């Protein structure tokens, strides 16, 4: 009886220890969050590895819907509206599926947030579908990878890579109208955003006259701001006022030296070379 008790105790002890063991997931989960436009894009997906297997056309069949990773369906969350592959997507969360093909891939944005992989997928919940062309990668990618690349204020790429195949999904955001309305509303308050307005009118509205008027107001309130004088020099250069650009850049250089900011000293040196 005592032996039986000890045997049961040992077995229970082993079970207790096993219950506390945590092994690495075969396909680890990654969440990436990218600032984009005036909002963010968050992506959560699982990352299987090739492990010597042939991937596309074998492990991942052509012309069949794929969860685009492993485990749960890949999830994408938008804090602001965007266009993906030319299709409009509103703020919110979605799942992302693909249908790989030799010459083209279909990308599917779907509302099935509770789906496990493709289980539960319904095409009636599709929000958008579009096609992208695959490309051959120079080097093999062992672990399925998704990333944001070529980040610009109003555009970026969502890239997927595995084995020697990659795709790039274009994403765009129209932020001009929203930012302009924010600036116009803020200009009615006591704290006017002249610095932000100067950047907006030069870079988005392509109105250098308004950009110059606003940078001058910003400098009045910040006469030691070497970065503002450099920005003014760039505006004047764009407007063809080379003499004015040189004067603003020289002022920026002197203030940067006073502040011991070598980066802006170098930026001004480079600009002055362009202005010769």
d(CA 38, CA 42): 14
To the nearest whole percent, how much of the chain has pLDDT over 70? 93
Q: What are 65's two structure tokens?
A: 């819907």
What values do phi and psi take at 269, rounded to 5? -60, -45
Whether the pLDDT of residue 15 is over 80: the answer is no
Q: What are 122's two structure tokens?
A: 């319904």
Q: Which among 170, 123, 145, 136 has a CA at the least distance from the CA of 68?
A: 145
Strand partners for 105: 132
d(CA 97, CA 47): 14
Indicate the DSSP class of residue 90: -
Q: pLDDT tens digit string along 86-99?
A: 999 999 999 999 99
Supply the pLDDT for residue 211: 96
Supply the pLDDT for residue 61: 96
Read off the pLDDT of each residue in 138-166 and give the average, rounded to a whole number: 96
From the CB of residue 63, how many other CB atoms can be counted at a distance below 10 Å?
10
d(CA 144, CA 45): 10
Supply the pLDDT for residue 174: 87
Whether the pLDDT of residue 182 is over 50: the answer is yes
Q: Which among 180, 137, 193 has a CA at the least distance from the CA of 162?
A: 137
Residue 159 or 27, more confident: 159
With contact defined as beta carbons under 8 Å apart, do 47 and 26 qualify? no
**pLDDT band, residue 206 (cuts 50/70/90):** very high
Whether the pLDDT of residue 276 is over 90: the answer is no
Supply the pLDDT for residue 7: 53
What values do phi and psi take at 219, rounded to 5? -70, -35
Read off the pLDDT of each residue in 123-144 and give the average, rounded to a whole number: 96
Tabulate helix, strand, coil % of the chain (nearest 5): 35, 35, 30
Domains of the chain: 25-172 (no CATH), 176-274 (1.25.40.10)
Supply the pLDDT for residue 18: 57
Q: What are 217's two structure tokens?
A: 């107001």
Average pLDDT in the chain: 92
Whether the pLDDT of residue 133 is over 70: the answer is yes
Q: Rounded to an integer, what is the distance from CA 75 to the centroid of its chain?
A: 15
**pLDDT band, residue 19 (cuts 50/70/90):** low
Q: Which among 135, 140, 147 has a CA at the least distance from the CA of 163?
A: 140
Read off the pLDDT of each residue in 111-128 and give the average, rounded to a whole number: 94
Read off the pLDDT of each residue in 209-227 and give the average, rounded to a whole number: 96
Whether the pLDDT of residue 24 is over 80: the answer is no
Q: Which among 143, 166, 170 has a CA at the least distance from the CA of 158?
A: 170
Read off the pLDDT of each residue in 216-220 and give the average, rounded to a whole number: 96
């Amino acid at each position: 009886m005592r032996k039986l008790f000890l045997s049961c105790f040992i077995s229970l002890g082993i079970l207790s220890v096993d219950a506390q063991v945590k092994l690495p997931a075969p396909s680890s989960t990654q969440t990436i969050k990218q600032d984009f436009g005036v909002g963010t894009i968050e992506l959560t997906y699982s990352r299987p590895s090739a492990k010597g297997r042939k991937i596309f056309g074998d492990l991942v069949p052509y012309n069949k819907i794929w969860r685009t990773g492993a485990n749960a369906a890949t999830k994408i969350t938008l804090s602001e509206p965007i266009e993906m592959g030319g299709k409009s997507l509103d703020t919110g969360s979605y799942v992302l599926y693909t249908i790989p093909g030799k010459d083209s891939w279909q990308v599917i944005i779907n509302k099935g947030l509770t789906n496990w992989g493709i289980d539960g997928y319904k095409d009636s919940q599709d929000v958008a579908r579009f096609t992208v062309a695959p490309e051959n990668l120079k080097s093999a990618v062992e672990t399925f990878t998704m990333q944001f690349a070529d980040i610009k204020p109003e555009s970026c790429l969502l890239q997927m890579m595995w084995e020697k195949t990659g795709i790039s999904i274009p994403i765009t955001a129209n932020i001009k109208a929203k930012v302009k309305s924010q600036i116009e509303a803020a200009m009615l308050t006591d704290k006017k955003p002249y610095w932000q307005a100067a950047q907006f009118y030069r870079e988005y509205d392509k109105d250098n006259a308004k950009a110059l008027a606003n940078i001058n107001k910003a400098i009045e309130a910040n006469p030691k701001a070497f970065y503002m004088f450099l920005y003014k020099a760039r505006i004047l250069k764009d407007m063809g006022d080379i003499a004015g650009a040189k004067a603003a850049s020289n002022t920026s250089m002197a203030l940067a030296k006073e502040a011991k900011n070598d980066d802006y000293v170098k930026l001004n040196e480079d600009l002055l070379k362009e202005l010769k």
